[in-house]
Structure 1
Amino acid sequence: MRVSVLGCGRWGTFMAWYTNKIGHDVMLWGRETSKSFAGLKETRKNEYLSLPDTIKLCSSLDKSISFAELIIISISAQELRSFAKQLNSIKESQNKTFILCMKGLEASSGTRLSQVFSEELGRNVNVAVWVGPGHVQEYVNNIPNCMVIGSENVDITKKIVQEFNSDLIRFYYGQDLIGNEIGAATKNVIGIAAGMLDGLNYSSLKGSLMARGTREISRLVRVMGGNELTIYGLSHLGDYEATLFSIHSNNRKFGQSYVEGERFGKLAEGVSTIKALKEISRQYEVELPICNALYEILFENKDAKATLENLFLRPVKFEFQN
């Protein structure tokens, strides 16, 4: 099958590498002005992997859309709406199946990414999400993991799983799009909190963070209309090891760098997600203590040590009381 991957960052380039590895004909799109794309054109390498010559590189969005039946999108979550507007101007986009391989929420509105995409391209477009644990650095060394494909159309979900399942990535069918998207986005937020605890030498509190984080986000999913048990699956709790403990996690490293007063130069999607969760908390009138504490630290300049100590060491209460 022909597959186009739109976005040539760390994850997008891996998507192209992986789909080619399992036997698909792949085209990787990047902006002509992108340093990442320029580097791939020159050397077919980045800091994570080398692309085989069988993968086509293209800077034309029209050609990339017309090339394939399945279109994988892997860009910054905050760029998705403007990017979807571009895709909407390409007539052939209406006949394709799009897979969103990114984890986040629209910061200004709190909108889920599949909703953002559908709002711009219309409800009739086929859109799925690809979420779950795993790092490029481990996959390219043949270390396997499990991930989730989810959509509102079970036939689309099954088709994508059939095309992409392999010994390297074992896929599960996502049954709750709300829970999978919220879970995938918010695990990055919990990852930032974990990094802050590491930076403060409070790593032992990450057990409490895991327990309370899943509880907090499961309540959110429930009030949004999803299945609260989804949070205990691969998209959220299942991704904790890769996000709260891994040396490869950008979000964990961002949190640690922040409290240590060091600059972190790579994208940490969880920062924008914290803004989105502030809006969602207001819309749904739900308390999100961990997310709110991170908002205060990052956007209201509250002291991280004092704020996190107050969060975890506040007065005694029943463990499972809302």
Structure 2
Amino acid sequence: MNPIKKTAVLGAGSWGTALAKVLVENGQEVCLWGNHPEQAAEINEQHTNKKYLPDVQLPKKLKSTNDLSDALSQADTVLFVIPTKAMREVAQKVTAILEKPVLIVHASKGLEQGTHKRISEILAEEIPEEKRKAIVALSGPSHAEEVAVQDLTSITAASENKMAAEDVQALFMNDYFRIYTNEDIIGVELGAALKNIIAVGAGALVGLGYGDNAKAALMTRGLAEISRLGAAFGADPLTFLGLSGVGDLIVTCTSVHSRNWRAGKMLGEGKKLDDILENMGMVVEGIATTKAAYELADLKNVEMPITTAIYDVIYKHEDVREVIMKLMNRVGKNEND
């Protein structure tokens, strides 16, 4: 019998809603928190979240609220599924409310602007040890739209605390949602964040009319530079060959479900970034992560030519085709360097 009785899921977007649905279907008590009272009312009364998962019927037992105190009341686990830029602020509010230590889990993917902190680092800074049992990152190749309709999915629960990762594994695992554990939370979080950059590039290639050869090259060499930066921060290079590395890279670089891929495709088609982000309706983490990764690579003296190229397009407004030609015409190198 799983000892976890109630989970507060913070973030009522597509992924937060899909994960809340999994937990309810696993027999857990769940309260889904979001900012908008009309959204909470829709989930409670109509059992839908049409803005984010328009074709999905949600379990009647799934409860939603826009009151953070209500969501956290009696919770044993708190699952953060919110944009990276809001993580610190929400964590501070959670800390002010919590009255007992809880298991902290996050399923977000990004790096904080300015500090370059991973999400678990932000949570550790803002939620004191006496109010948390452990911090676990939940990550891997997982489109919310597919999880919500019980498509087969496998992801990773990563934590320095092995037992905490196993608790999360038991909490989420069922016959369509398989969870593996991993103690390399650095590698899992960096893989999750950095693959979004490569997905923007993959979308741009499609928008420009390039084919599968170009996309395969981008993904493979993108994984190489993700691994280099991860290793510079102490991650296990093997982690990037797992679900939160190559697995997440594949699904994010090849699917129309990916916001980062769609944003990149529109960039390749010549649309303006501001217009793309305004029309997307959801956060495109890869845009901000590109800047953070570019700065981290410079800090650690790690060569990341694809990340630099995408940075040049997004932040220096360089022409996409010209940037690609610069990449292709660099000095020849050994593949393993």
Same fold (TM over 0.5): yes
Q: Compare 54-63 and 11-20 and name the one that shifted more.
A: 54-63
How much identity, in percent, do the aligned residues show?
33
Residue 45 of structure 1: which of 30, 45, 48 is its match?
48
Once the two structures are TM-superposed, the CA of residue 278 in structure 1 deviates from its matched residue by: 2.0
Match of residue 173 from structure 2 = 165
Match of residue 125 from structure 2 = 119
Indicate if the aligned counterparts of 1:274 and 1:294 stay in contact, CA closer than 8 A: yes
Question: RMSD of aligned C-alpha atoms?
Answer: 1.7
Q: Compare 263-272 and 165-174 and name the one that shifted more.
A: 263-272
Indicate if the aligned counterparts of 2:161 and 2:183 stay in contact, CA closer than 8 A: no
Opposite residue 306 of structure 1, the aligned amino acid is: E
**Aligned pairs (5 A) from 1:134-145:** 134-145=142-153
Opposite residue 113 of structure 1, the aligned amino acid is: I
Indicate if the aligned counterparts of 2:44 and 2:62 stay in contact, CA closer than 8 A: no
Match of residue 80 from structure 1 = 87
Structure 1 Cα separation of the partners of residues 33 and 189 of structure 2: 24
Indicate if the aligned counterparts of 1:85 and 1:120 stay in contact, CA closer than 8 A: yes
**Aligned pairs (5 A) from 1:52-71:** 52-71=59-78
Once the two structures are TM-superposed, the CA of residue 39 in structure 1 deviates from its matched residue by: 4.4
Residue 205 of structure 2: which of 197, 206, 218 is its match?
197
Structure 2 Cα separation of the partners of residues 41 and 162 of structure 1: 26
Q: Does 1:245 align with 2:254?
A: yes
TM-score under structure 2 length normalisation? 0.90
TM-score under structure 1 length normalisation? 0.94
Where do 5+ consecutive residues of structure 1 fail to align?
none
Indicate if the aligned counterparts of 1:108 and 1:275 stay in contact, CA closer than 8 A: no
State the SS of the aligned residue for 1:97.
strand
Where do 5+ consecutive residues of structure 2 fail to align?
none
Opposite residue 226 of structure 1, the aligned amino acid is: A
Q: Does 1:110 align with 2:126?
A: no
**Aligned pairs (5 A) from 1:214-225:** 214-225=223-234
Indicate if the aligned counterparts of 1:108 and 1:279 stay in contact, CA closer than 8 A: no
Q: Does 1:19 align with 2:35?
A: no
Q: Does 1:305 align with 2:321?
A: yes
Indicate if the aligned counterparts of 1:4 and 1:67 stay in contact, CA closer than 8 A: no
Structure 1 Cα separation of the partners of residues 42 and 60 of structure 2: 15
State the SS of the aligned residue for 2:16.
helix
Q: Does 1:99 align with 2:105?
A: yes
Once the two structures are TM-superposed, the CA of residue 148 in structure 1 deviates from its matched residue by: 0.2
Q: Does 1:182 align with 2:190?
A: yes
Match of residue 291 from structure 1 = 307
Residue 89 of structure 1: which of 69, 75, 96 is its match?
96
Once the two structures are TM-superposed, the CA of residue 41 in structure 1 deviates from its matched residue by: 4.9
Match of residue 5 from structure 1 = 9
Match of residue 255 from structure 1 = 264
Once the two structures are TM-superposed, the CA of residue 44 in structure 1 deviates from its matched residue by: 2.8
Q: Compare 135-144 and 288-297 and name the one that shifted more.
A: 135-144
State the SS of the aligned residue for 2:178.
strand
Structure 2 Cα separation of the partners of residues 275 and 38 of structure 1: 37
Structure 1 Cα separation of the partners of residues 240 and 233 of structure 2: 13
Opposite residue 282 of structure 1, the aligned amino acid is: D
Opposite residue 5 of structure 1, the aligned amino acid is: V
Indicate if the aligned counterparts of 2:72 and 2:98 stay in contact, CA closer than 8 A: no
State the SS of the aligned residue for 1:318.
coil
Once the two structures are TM-superposed, the CA of residue 122 in structure 1 deviates from its matched residue by: 2.3
Q: Compare 134-143 and 284-293 and name the one that shifted more.
A: 134-143
Once the two structures are TM-superposed, the CA of residue 68 in structure 1 deviates from its matched residue by: 1.5
Opposite residue 16 of structure 1, the aligned amino acid is: A
Once the two structures are TM-superposed, the CA of residue 66 in structure 1 deviates from its matched residue by: 2.0
Partner deviation per Cα, 1:128-155 (whole Å, 9 max, x = no partner) = 1100002122223332011000111111
